[in-house]
Structure 1
């Protein structure tokens, strides 16, 4: 088993033990790892991101979760920060580091039940998660405030999933201006490090042409078919 595959098994292990201990009850799962484990997003991510779905004593929750994790893993960082609760620890066969970040923000809309699982293991965990529509809304908020290649990759993924994303004219101008500046070396390096080889090769050749097409600015090649977004060897 590769290190990344082992890391995914570790992520599921952590989700499973948190679920059995009741720590997931007030939480909402989101972010790139949620998209990968619940919706087959074909890029790597290494953090477990959560929000709260109901009012909770952050201090009490943090104290209990800290003790729970410290009894099971090798903690490298634990913080009750102003906006987030942060836990970093090592475990699993690879001994790789995993970060769990819980935002001190109540999220009560745009939620759904989802199953987190991996082709590399047998565990399945029922989670409360951000819906794809809500994920897209939050992704657009992120895009407006930062310039990260993984965000544009995620937008393409969500569009291919049939999610309707509202792009303003300002959004279109902003995104197209950014993605047209990326070089092949960016797709091979910055983005490529998050992808398996076949998908990395596609993006080196074609860039974000699918996203550009969806924004109605790509012209002739905007809707060229993409290679399968399923990760190699999975039947998911």
Structure 2
């Protein structure tokens, strides 16, 4: 269903203005072995009055071509009251795509209309439901966004183990982290005051975060999203610290 949504957005010209990022992007295009279904997008440049509504028509038409009826609704964001919206930016737009069929399902779409910059994009080929290209964040910038979430995500009293699973995935594959994009994100969120950040400063932030991590809670959060639960048994504060020592930076 996510692929059909991407096809509809592509047909409507959405990727001339925006790029795909987040966990579902990582799963579809890079083989991240955990379940993720939300579709997260970033405009290529800030656009305060951006509207997603012009793309509703091609989304509906794309789903209809495959025998599905969809209802698209814009969600009005209020004060943070639940976990699902705990990390939504005030400058983002949120939409629900309700798909009717043999089994009703809902896809959440979020568009960041005031994105932190200093990121690169690449055209990634998707061959389902047919062949087309999707503009995506480059891996070093996807990694930077993930580490910003890992270090600063406000999830009340819960730990988002999916952040730690993705962190492990990036490090094991030797993917470089774009510090410049991380810094842009941290400055925009009010978590970092300087225009730059050094490797040493970043690693100090990571070490502090690891030392406060409830590993058992992190494991419990992610286990239902992965096929190989035994792979999580190695998780510990020391494990994540040693992964940090293996980080490479762009």
Q: What TM-score, normalized by structure 2, do the two folds share?
A: 0.68
- In the alignment, is the contact (CA less than 8 A) between 1:12 and 1:123 conserved in 2? no
> How many angstroms apart in 2 are the aligned matches of 1:150 and 1:124?
30
Distance 2:33 2:235 in 1: 16
Q: Does 1:98 align with 2:107?
A: yes
SS in 2 for 1:163: coil
Partner in structure 2 of residue 28 of structure 1: 19
Alignment-derived partner of residue 207 in structure 1: 235
SS at match of 2:118: coil
Q: Secondary structure at the match of 2:104?
A: coil
Q: Kindly indicate whether residue 70 of structure 2 is the aligned counterpart of residue 74 of structure 1.
A: yes
Unaligned residue ranges in structure 2 (runs of 5+)? 78-89, 154-158, 178-198
State yes or no: 1:113 paired with 2:122.
Answer: yes
Return 5+ residue gaps in structure 1 as ranges.
1-9, 217-221, 223-236
Cα contact 2:19–2:43 (8 A) shared by 1? yes
In the other structure, the counterpart of 2:210 is: 175
1:162 equivalent in alignment to 2:207: no
1:183-194 to structure 2, matched below 5 A, reads 183=216, 187=219, 189-194=220-225
Counterparts of 1:124 and 1:182 in 2: how far apart (Å)? 41
RMSD (Å), alpha carbons = 2.8
User: Aligned residue for 1:65?
Assistant: 55
Answer yes or no: is the 8 Å Cα contact 1:74–1:89 preserved in 2: yes
Return the offset for 1:134. 1.1
